[in-house]
A and B are shown apart, each in its own frame.
Chain A
């Protein structure tokens, strides 16, 4: 986008020079063009209506026009803004404010290895500009996308500081991993963690490539979709200093209701809990661990430039204090982006440098008794309300009569769990115009991540392993090195009604991962925590206390794409990519990924000229093949020998080496074939616009850990390409501008997506031998079953309870035996763990300086196995734990089943976001714009789900759909401030 605006600016200046030579000077017209923030707009183009006359604004936004007329009408245009038409009278200076065009940011879409005009797109791409992104206390860019795009499901499980949401584009494409979309930030490709390095307020636009015809250009990494993030650039010739801040208070809207001390003892007497288990206190463990959290987001950004050079730099701080005590997160990001032109403007160099530091104190994620482990906060529900927090001597209370008792408050006060991550990435892009229409480019990026986690679990934490070992301390370090380089050739040509834009690219990517872990046990005090492992008792070192690893992968690609348009009506995009990946078998390294798509701009046809109903009408269709290798761990094709602890042989303990896996020398690309059909339409001069897309995608050669027979295999699974998955979906987005006039706009917008997935097959042959894989456990009581959706619940049906208050269940095959095996006939199908629909409603309103917007979103069609409710519902546990209030009416003493009693509807509607803003008109000498906003998030949740929040892991992995207790999701209220200095 940068290059284009520079180019246009240059052209306009040229045009202006020519124009001034031609016309005689009579009357003077002067004016100034400013943007929505009252900042001068240099480079805006002024045309005098009815003439060829044109000019552009200077660095201060000022312009002058001479005319023989006393009054003229001018049009003012600037990329990204609505064209303004104004009357001018000679010698009466006029200030013209341009407002961002609702469609402006969509005019140019980043499609990977290039850009395209939105009107020329042939694939399914959602483009979101700054104002389409969710406002508020944002800590990860994905939160800005929730509800904003059809077919893009953003799911946040709980609000633990520093944790990221997950995103799925058009469902689950793979079972082995690799369902996370490729993230491309200013050309740098990476996994989802790259998003932690993008300051949310510095995002200019997000382009989401959804269908294969759009993503195939990314070949092997494109199957799960692509998120392309373009950060803000400095506008040519303008100096800007901007400060953005957002500060929120975060509170927990809901916790599970467990028994208080009186209720607990009342029930305890009913269920025969011995008085010795009642320790006489009244403790609300949930309140004890809970606090009001806060999120702060500050960014200062500045930029400037001259004719051939411009830059933008920013420093951001994201500071979060969690709603569970002692959990917090700090993220500092500094970035600088600079562009320089040289060689008579034929060479453009663009450099990006981004460095970030994350510091987090995480609440221990898996802790508890053998019978129930969850995150720390969920353990607060388990603790008996009659237990004291402290012993009379001030030490933390613990009950030796309860096996592996933990005092969750002691854990918050004594356990250290710190993570530091340093991120550095940089890139350089060089574009050289070789010949008319022919450009060569070189791009290189290097990303390095160094992470360090320190963990100390002291005996004082009351955790039994810590007591046994007199403290456990460990440090783990990890390093990621990701390099990418590409060389590209781009050729654009117009001949007559034909337009051709072709690109050819060679790309090389390599990623290296290495790290180490060290642990010590047995500390005489807790002063040094994990900072001096050597202070531990070295005689307690056991296998596994020291380890390190290294692996790498590389990917070589050749790709080409042709965009051809005829008469601006018929558009064709065809691409081909050939990828070689190191992670496959020796003979199967390479895969071919073609795609083609067509679009017909019906609105451009002659026969559409005489109608007013359709202002836009475009039909799109495409087919493409993409691959998956990123989810596959390296080295699965090789027979390797690795470490497996210690064995005793020859009178001594020696290192044990073991064949580490079932190798599969035939491992090859998983491929996804997707067909997509879409229509873009606008009615009534685009008052009502919308897009409808349908797609069907089949993943073949599905990479998965298939079941193999033991014997002869030493391990129960082999990574192979056997099965296939089907995804089908329908996506609709609509926007209606109810009011659009000078002072007021009201837009109602929304989207909905429906998706169905099915496991087509999991069995097949490998090396000519039939493999039988089915009913693979994929969550709690959820399975992968041939012919059924991913995560289908196949579950025992609740019946009632018997005389001992033990749960009874339905004996489906009436053989007197309840078999809980995976394929047991006593199990029945009851829905699946993944939502089948998502929807969002995103209205926005503005009146003069005031604006407001909302996001409502929801999903449904899925079920949740409420495992934490089951855990907190059996009264046999009452002597050592607490139970939920709603367990009283059930009155279950014990169950040996995980029945559908705990299976609940997972549908919900959430009032995700309400934002109101006001732009304060200022006459200040220093401030050109000032905007204040108030945002509330998670304001209302409508659901039948009885747990804390039904928005749980639906990422499609094998823990989807189960609620084992989550870090609470917060409700936030925030104040935002945006100041632009002069």
Chain B
């Protein structure tokens, strides 16, 4: 176990508290940089989605994890970013310009959503953001002169400095990775400065934050704006990756997926956004695999236990029918959320920290180290 001897205030400000961090993240970055030369094109494509989901995850963490304002409307912010890119691209606006414009526009809309949300908390805020997402979805479907309605919009490959960057090229992956890294660094910077602390203060006690001089309304709006702007940036990348966007891609289900990203990753650290993004992107191929192979496997097991060919065939057909039921994916998402909230509220990153601590303390780890105290919800005073 490492003991840190702090000798300077700088030690508490540094992004990498000690050399171990530099090595770990250096190796991780090196692996990510050589990934395109090693991984198959399918996995590379998944990795790009991990980057995009992680960017949205970080955005949502700022709003939900650190400011304590739940949002089920981030699919709408993503859509606004994506459509801004697609629309401006039609008029041959260069990539850097529409990339920034998408972030700016989404940020402004985020701030506008933030204002009515000032008086709402908890479940009511969730409902308000859902309504916002539904309104945006409807606008995208109806405002045909701009969005082409349900026909959707085709997005051309992006061109950067005169070079065309196809959506499955390593360059596009590097671009997504760069945006993710910049987002994470920017967010970490924010969190170690007064604004980030004000966000956390608002999450934990609005009354106390106010009496310490934090303009709660202003900071909530700021949080909404920053979160939305980052999601807008992600939207541009999302549009380019899919090369075609239509309103039904930005449904409530997508917003729920973003919530799952942070819930499963862990809401208290930016690591959570990345881990959650890996989880959510990888669950799809896993479910497809289950759907294709599970019936055969179960029938095989049944046969091994002495079931006749007809029975095994019946079992296979039944399991296959179950696996292709509509809405099964939603149900699985729901079960995952419930299980995580019940058994691992700190998410994957929390689990990782516990495992790490187990080895650090090795023979001395106590089971009760992370036993949760019973916490009673503070009555909502002065509201």
Asked if A and B bind, the verdict is no
| Residue positions of A touching B, CB distance < 8 A | none
